[in-house]
């Protein structure tokens, strides 16, 4: 308590140690600007299709709390062990650390935590599941979108059944992506963990054959379609019957096929399926050639995969368009035409234009086409489809009509695993709102990400990005089943987490506190700063020095 002397006699012998109250009073009124602690969106979170809270996860890693770090991952992505391997990691694209030395290897941390949590997932009580709601949900298709939705819906306490036409769950994870990129035991473990959560699994059950969709609709409160895009598109040229489908080929390989269809194999298409097919063929001992009608720059495949395919020694023939296929002496003869690039089309890529009179022929033992995939919607009731045969779903909420929802490639067309996982989570959210009888509302869009100007880079030492070890091409092309990228150690993960600028998320470093000239920042138990606005003079040092950009100066109202 502050003693206020009233008479001369009451005046103390020495001055009393209390915050001054006399003439100066509370120094907060000197202020024009006040510091406010605001968490901002990091570029990695912004760019990640699943909006994983990467800086938050790294902060837990820095504090040695791996369980908590993994659990934050699971809030937006239930399968980091899978995305840690196959994701193109758009999150790393605009990493602010890249403007200082090297971008953060988010992928290696994701993979490490994914593998770490995979061991724990089987443990009882790791996933907290809310009380049973009694609502029954059918999920048709068990690719990343279906599994992701199943995870989130089950966590809320719904009764979830997955229907899968194949023998194993996983969709593209089990039957599409080749094992050198994604070992199948990882998918199996993830699926086993889901089963332990109490999700019912019906494999070998194709809806439309035997059980009709109408029955599913009637028996369940909600039906979620997550069937992916498994139908190979036609090129639309004569002789296509001599070609195999890229997806079918990958499916056979994932089921155990280890014989290439021939020695010289043409792969038509420059997407991810095309690259997967070509690299798989190489590992089976064949000599694949990729034919693509535009140039490398326009290839829709993941850049890293294109580079790896080149390292593997796969031949690329760009600006080459097959116009006719025929069979001669057991070989397939492809008549092709040379292309040139014209003006950009709707996708922003330059349109290929045939060069007249430039036809030539190539001879192969087999030809595999992978020119794009689309969903097989033939068994879905007409009322849910548009005139082009695509599902009539709201791309953001996944709502189709009646009690039907859809997610993943079925809605978006062929996309990445992480996009399907994100769609699964968002649709699970919509389904939950629907079941509660609420209006289906979207999550608020993220604010623009933090720029490097907001970060005080003086607090970081230059340090190299952790290197992931990859098998050299001559070794990796020998085996289809050996994973080609290896994981990193805990020390490396910690080093990487330490390099992170933690853009817009407090590192609990107390830099603001140590530099406050007015003793007006208090560090609370959770290590976050709190400002005493009664005394803060608004100098702005805390905001200027913050290594993460979480303190913003705001003009005081008059």
- Rounded Cα distance, 132 and 326, in Å: 59
Q: Which residues bind another protein (CB under 8 A)?
A: 2, 5, 11-12, 14-27, 30-31, 458-459, 507-511, 513-520, 522-523, 527, 532, 534-535, 537-541, 543-545, 547, 553
Smallest distance, another protein to C-beta of residue 55, A: 15
Q: What is the DSSP letter of 391?
A: B
> Least CB distance from residue 321 to another protein, whole Å?
56
Q: Is the CB of 344 or the CB of 517 nearer to another protein?
A: 517
C-beta separation of 424 from 144 below 8 A: yes
Q: How far apart are the first and last CA of the chain?
A: 31
- What are the two backbone dihedrals, phi and then psi, of residue 383, each rounded to the nearest 5 degrees? -65, -20
Task: Tell me whether residue 163 or residue 535 sits nearer to another protein (CB atom).
Answer: 535
**What's the Cα-to-Cα distance from 458 to each of 42, 46, 94, 452, 455, rounded to whole Å?**
19, 24, 20, 12, 9
Q: Which is nearer to another protein, 8 or 388 (CB)?
A: 8
Nearer to another protein, 17 or 378 (CB): 17
Name the minimum Å distance from CB 514 to another protein. Answer: 5
If the CB atoms of residues 267 and 536 are measured against another protein, the closer one turns out to be 536
Angle between helices 417-435 and 144-156 (to 10 degrees): 40
The Cα–Cα gap between 269 and 235 comes to: 10
In whole angstroms, give the CA distance from residue 465 to residue 542: 29
**Cβ atoms of 163 and 239 closer than 8 Å:** no
* Residue 435, both tokens: 């079941």
Tokens for 452, please give them: 């490097």
In the complex, what is the shortest distance from the CB of residue 92 to another protein, in angstroms, rounded to a whole number? Answer: 24
Least gap, CB of 95 to another protein (angstroms): 20
Beta bridge partners of 37: 551
CB of 492 to another protein, least distance (A): 19
Closest to another protein by CB, 126 or 533: 533
Q: Taking the complex as a whole, how short is the minimal distance between the CB of residue 538 and another protein, in angstroms? A: 6
Q: With respect to another protein, which residue has the nearer C-beta, 294 or 507? A: 507
For tokens 């003006």, what's the residue? 343
Q: What token pair was written down for 128?
A: 């907290």
């Amino acid at each position: 308590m502050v003693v206020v002397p009233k008479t001369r006699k009451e005046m103390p012998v020495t001055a009393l140690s209390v915050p001054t109250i006399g003439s100066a009073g509370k120094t907060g009124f000197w202020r024009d600007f006040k510091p406010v602690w605001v968490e901002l969106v990091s570029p990695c979170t912004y760019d990640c299709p699943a909006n994983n809270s990467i800086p938050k996860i790294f902060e837990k890693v820095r504090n040695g709390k791996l369980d908590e770090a993994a659990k934050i991952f699971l809030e937006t992505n239930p399968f980091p062990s899978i995305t840690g391997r196959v994701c193109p990691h758009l999150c790393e694209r605009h990493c602010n650390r890249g403007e200082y030395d090297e971008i953060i290897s988010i992928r290696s941390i994701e993979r490490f935590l994914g593998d770490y949590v995979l061991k724990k997932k089987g443990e009882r009580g790791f996933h907290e599941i809310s009380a049973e709601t009694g609502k029954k949900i059918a999920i048709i298709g068990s690719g990343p979108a279906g599994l992701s939705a199943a995870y989130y819906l089950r966590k809320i306490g719904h009764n979830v059944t997955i229907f899968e036409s194949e023998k194993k769950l996983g969709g593209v994870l089990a039957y599409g992506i080749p094992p050198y990129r994604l070992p199948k035991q990882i998918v199996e473990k993830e699926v086993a963990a889901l089963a332990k959560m109490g999700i019912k699994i019906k494999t070998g059950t194709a809806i439309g054959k035997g059980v009709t969709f109408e029955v599913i609709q009637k028996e369940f409160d909600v039906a979620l379609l997550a069937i992916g895009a498994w139908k190979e598109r036609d090129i639309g040229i004569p002789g296509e019957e001599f070609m195999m489908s890229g997806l079918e080929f990958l499916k056979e390989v994932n089921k155990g096929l280890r014989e290439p269809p021939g020695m010289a194999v043409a792969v038509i298409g420059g997407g991810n399926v095309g690259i997967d097919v070509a690299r798989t063929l190489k590992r089976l001992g064949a000599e694949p050639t990729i034919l693509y009608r535009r140039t490398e720059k326009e290839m829709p495949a993941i850049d890293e995969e294109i580079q790896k395919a080149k390292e593997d020694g796969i031949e690329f023939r760009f600006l080459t368009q097959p116009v006719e296929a025929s069979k001669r002496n057991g070989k397939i003869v492809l008549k092709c035409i040379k292309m040139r690039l014209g003006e950009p089309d709707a996708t922003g890529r330059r349109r290929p234009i045939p060069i007249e009179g430039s036809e030539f022929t190539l001879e192969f033992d087999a030809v595999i086409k992978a020119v794009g995939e689309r969903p097989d919607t033939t068994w879905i009731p007409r009322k849910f489809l548009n005139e082009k045969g695509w599902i009539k779903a709201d791309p953001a909420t996944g709502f189709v009509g009646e009690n039907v929802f859809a997610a993943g490639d079925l809605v978006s067309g062929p996309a990445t695993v992480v996009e399907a996982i994100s769609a699964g989570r968002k649709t699970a959210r919509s389904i939950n709102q629907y079941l509660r009888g609420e209006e289906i509302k979207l999550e608020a869009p993220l604010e623009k990400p933090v720029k490097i100007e907001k970060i005080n880079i003086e607090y970081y030492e230059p340090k190299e990005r952790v290197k992931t070890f990859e098998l050299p091409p001559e070794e990796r092309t020998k085996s289809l089943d050996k994973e080609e990228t290896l994981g990193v150690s805990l020390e490396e993960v910690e080093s990487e987490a330490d390099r992170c600028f933690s853009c817009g998320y407090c590192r609990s470093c107390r830099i603001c506190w140590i530099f406050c000239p007015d003793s007006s920042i208090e560090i609370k138990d959770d290590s976050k700063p709190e400002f005493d606005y009664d005394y803060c003079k608004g100098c702005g040092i805390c905001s200027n020095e913050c290594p993460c950009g979480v303190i913003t100066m705001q003009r005081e109202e008059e």
